[in-house]
Every structure is written in structure tokens, then in C-alpha cells.
Amino acid sequence: MKLSWILWWILNAFWLVIFIAGTIFVWTRSVDDAGITQTYDAKLAAFIVLVIAFLFPFIVQIIWMIINIIVSKNKQPRKYVNH
């Protein structure tokens, strides 16, 4: 189970770096690939598309975290009382 948590943190760090890089790219470019000058509204629209694109990995990571928590709680040693 510990490996699952390590992989979860590594993938979270990966997605965070990719999201930050995409955000910096969207907000700092002045012209997009089509040659259109990027206004504040165009940058905001591109950022919203980026956020929507990252919703799926976010949901998968949340589900994975919940599974990790449930499995780790079920693996804790149980205390039995001898009568």
C-alpha cells in the first residue's frame, strides 16, 4: 500500500507541474499559433479550457486517494481482547 501512496504523490506532482506550465504558457503568450493576438478574454477562455481538461485527472486522483485511505485503514492491525 505504501507504494500506492508514493505513486499517488509522484503523479500529483507531475500533474501539478504540467498544470502550472500550461497556465504560465497561456497567460504569458501574446500571440497564439494561429497568429491571433491574445487579449485578456482570449487568455481567460484558454485558461478555462485548460482547467476543464485537467478535471478528469483531478477526479481520478481524488478517487485514488479515497481508495488509498480506505485500504490503509482496513490494513491496520486489529486489537483483540483475550477473555
pLDDT average per 10 residues of sequence, the chain (83 residues): 88 96 94 89 95 96 93 75 65
Using alpha carbons only, give the angle 50, 54, 58 rounded to the nearest 5 degrees. Answer: 155
pLDDT value at residue 75: 76
Q: Can you tell me whether residue 31 is helix, strand or coil?
A: strand
Report how far residue 38's alpha carbon sits from residue 14's, in angstroms, rounded to the nearest whole number. Answer: 27
Domain locations along the chain: 2-73
CB count within 10 Å of CB 32 equals: 13
Q: Write down the pLDDT at residue 1.
A: 64
Q: Are 4 and 68 in contact, with CB atoms under 8 Å apart?
A: yes
The model's pTM: 0.78
pLDDT of residue 2: 87
